[in-house]
Amino acid sequence: MRERTVTIREVAAAAGVSTATVSRTLSPDGAEGVSEETRLRVFAAASKMGYRANHAARSLKTRSSRTVGIIAPELTNDFFMDLAEGIAGELERQGYTLLVASSANSVEEEKKRVAMLAERMVDGMVVIPAGSRGDHLAARALRRTPVVLVDRLVEGADVDAVLSDNEGGAYELTRRLLADGFRRICFVGGDAAISTARERIAGFSRAMLEAGLHLNGETIRSGGMEVRDGYTGMGAVLESPSPPDALVAVNLLVHLGMERRLLEYRRRPGRVLPVIAAFDETAYTPFLPACRYTAAQDAAAMGKEAVRRILERIAERRTVEKSPVGRSPLAGEETGGERIIRLPVTIVRYRGSQEDRRRR
């Protein structure tokens, strides 16, 4: 009872037309130049026979897989998750699918994954870069496959990017703390190799300097972007002889680490605990006791925007290739350089939890 796979030829025969007509009728970009009548005949035959186009054959011919790949440093991350959902949704709406790969925070792995996706003829790649350089990404982009960076910029890759307003978000976060009367404020977490961290530190610094506050060696405790870095960072803060009364966390993971450390510390009585303003927001943020403000990135929107860029680039490529004149010998892409988009962040205020608990 094994069902053989039905081919376009059989459908053509059944409908009494040629394979070309069937192909045209069932084209993913709509049936153009096919009469209503034959269109119906073909549809009828195809659906009766349960015809499903062979994707590989189609790809081989068209050099397009209707697939977009995404490479992230890790999959287990709330930001990535929201991003992926945004991307997958937008993609599915356009008849594309999403290939997912993890670079495991390694540039080497990232290179391999890029190669793998390229081999699979993805029409575009969304990447959250693992390192500070992205020459391998640029190489791809300059050939056939559009690349769009998300969340972070890298050097050596002039490609499209969708980012949050990191500088502005950190600035705003710091301003809120200042407005609440805090003066001894420190920044926790960061990595000079990561553009996102640099921008956030810049925003923080600007707000502090504008407020006439001094930055000393302990004001900015970068040292990583992971949970453990927040944990140790908070440890250092708590040990400090003159501890700050408010902190800015570089991201979700560092924030989490900081709260964990605080959770342990809390047991010791008689000390005012610092308040935290942090980048990133999740469903669990209301439960983090020290958190007073967050700068919420709209990851889903970033995903959608990234897809839109990719699809635009794909369309451009098509028209360029179809245009009668070949590519100009001049260096640089004639389709208009890289474009960087900044999406705004939303500042969210949490009240209650911390104070509430203290009162009990």
Partner DNA sequence: CTGTTAGCGCCTTCAG
Partner DNA sequence: CTGAAGGCGCTAACAG
* Cβ neighbours around 88 below 10 Å, total: 18
Binding residues for its own copies restricted to 5-64, rule: CB under 8 A: 52-57, 59-60
C-alpha to C-alpha distances, 65 to 5, 22, 99, 175, 278, nearest whole angstrom: 20, 20, 11, 48, 40
Evaluate the CA torsion angle 214, 217, 223, 226 in order and state its sign.
negative
120 scored as a contact of its own copies (CB under 8 A): yes
**Binding partner of 219, given DNA, its own copies, none, CB within 5-8 angstroms per partner class:** none
What type of residue sits at position 348?
V
Among 1, 2, 5, 328, which residue interacts with DNA (rule: CB under 7 A)? Answer: 5
Question: Where does this chain touch its own copies (CB under 8 A) — which range of 155-163, 190-198, 230-238, 286-294?
Answer: 286-294
143 scored as a contact of its own copies (CB under 8 A): yes
What type of residue sits at position 189?
G
Question: Where does this chain touch DNA (CB under 7 A) — which range of 3-11, 197-205, 228-236, 237-245?
Answer: 3-11
**Binding partner of 27, given DNA, its own copies, none, CB within 5-8 angstroms per partner class:** DNA
Containing H/E element for 300? helix 299-322
Among candidate residues 22, 135, 115, the one with its CA nearest the CA of residue 69: 115
334 scored as a contact of its own copies (CB under 8 A): no
Cβ nearer to its own copies, comparing 34 with 71: 71
Alpha-carbon distance of 288 to 246, in angstroms, equals 15
219 scored as a contact of DNA (CB under 7 A): no
Among 26, 98, 173, 310, which residue interacts with its own copies (rule: CB under 8 A)? Answer: 98
47 scored as a contact of DNA (CB under 7 A): no
Question: Where does this chain touch its own copies (CB under 8 A) — which range of 12-20, 77-85, 152-160, 177-185?
Answer: 77-85
Containing H/E element for 171? helix 166-179
Among 40, 47, 50, 62, which residue interacts with DNA (rule: CB under 7 A)? Answer: 62
Longest dimension (CA), the chain: 87
82 scored as a contact of its own copies (CB under 8 A): yes
From its phi and psi, is residue 224 left (phi > 0), alpha (psi between -120 and 50) or beta? left
Cβ nearer to DNA, comparing 33 with 352: 33
DSSP notation for 184-210: -EEEE-B-TT-HHHHHHHHHHHHHHHH
Binding interface with its own copies (CB under 8 A): 2-3, 52-57, 59-60, 65, 67, 74-77, 80-82, 84-85, 88-89, 92, 97-102, 113, 115-121, 143, 227, 256, 259-260, 263, 266-267, 282-284, 286-289, 327, 352-353, 356-360
